[in-house]
Amino acid sequence: MRPGGGLCRSVRQTLACGLPRLSERKRERLAERHSKPPELAVIASIRHEDTDYDRLLMAGVNRAEARGRARDDVERALEAWRTRAVAEG
């Protein structure tokens, strides 16, 4: 099996949508380096569904700046999920 071949389909789709200019090979290597590939899909979902990220992009804010502005909201959502998971144990 080639490296990265075990990545779930949703992670590959997330990388393809989020990084459309990168080749498939480069996206695979990026996913391999990430210690928890499914977390990429969760973070992307939060960014698009629970922050102003898409609105910022539509307003002309560049991608890096929009991600930076959304980062705190993403981190808060992840922490809330983690806290809830521990509490429900």
**Inside any domain, residue 31:** yes
**80 with 50: CB under 8 angstroms?**
no
**78 with 46: CB under 8 angstroms?**
yes
Number of domains making up the chain? 1
Q: Looking at residue 34, what is its pLDDT?
A: 58
pLDDT tens readout for residues 32-71: 665 566 777 888 999 999 999 999 999 999 999 999 999 9
**pLDDT: which is higher, 40 or 1:** 40
**Inside any domain, residue 22:** yes
Q: Say how far apart CA 21 and CA 29 lie, in whole Å.
A: 14
Domain extent at residue 29:
9-88
